[in-house]
């Protein structure tokens, strides 16, 4: 007689839609404070977002270097200024040469 093995059920992660990710990004970019808590983000969002979904979006934004999550809260750090991007490239080239 074979012994049955038990398999744990793995709960699927809450997967946000692209529209939800963009909505959260735009909200974070336009927030008045420089450091904010998750509760403040929830209040600023135009639509209600499931907490676990929001946490997954924040994890994605942190991994893609768009936000910084610190002890005091969350800060938007992504900058699309073309002049800044150009200066960073120049600085990187100078640093590699030395």
In a domain, 66, yes or no: yes
User: How many independent structural domains does the chain possess?
Assistant: 1
In a domain, 85, yes or no: yes
User: Residue 48: which domain range?
Assistant: 18-97
pTM for the full model? 0.71
Q: How many helices (H) and strands (E) does the chain have?
A: 4, 2
- Whether 33 shows a pLDDT value over 90: the answer reads no
3-state secondary structure of 22: helix
What is the percentage of the chain residues whose pLDDT exceeds 70?
79
Q: Calculate the CA 90 to chain-centre distance.
A: 27
What DSSP string runs through 29-51? HT-SSSSB-HHHHHHH-SS---H
At 73-84, the pLDDT tens digits run: 999 988 877 887
Instruction: Write b or e for each residue in 1-35: b if 16 or more Cβ atoms lie within 10 A of its Cβ, otherwise e.
Output: eeeeeeeeeeeeeeebeeebeebbbebbeebeeee
CATH number at residue 68: 1.10.10
């Amino acid at each position: 007689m074979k012994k049955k093995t038990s398999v744990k059920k793995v709960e699927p992660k809450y997967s946000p839609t692209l529209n939800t990710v963009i909505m959260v990004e735009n909200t974070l970019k336009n927030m008045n404070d420089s450091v904010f808590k998750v509760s403040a983000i929830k209040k600023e969002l135009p639509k209600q977002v499931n907490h676990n979904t929001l946490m997954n979006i924040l994890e994605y934004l942190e991994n893609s270097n768009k936000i910084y999550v610190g002890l005091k809260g969350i800060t938007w750090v992504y900058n699309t200024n073309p002049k800044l991007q150009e200066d960073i490239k120049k600085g990187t080239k100078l640093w590699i040469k030395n």
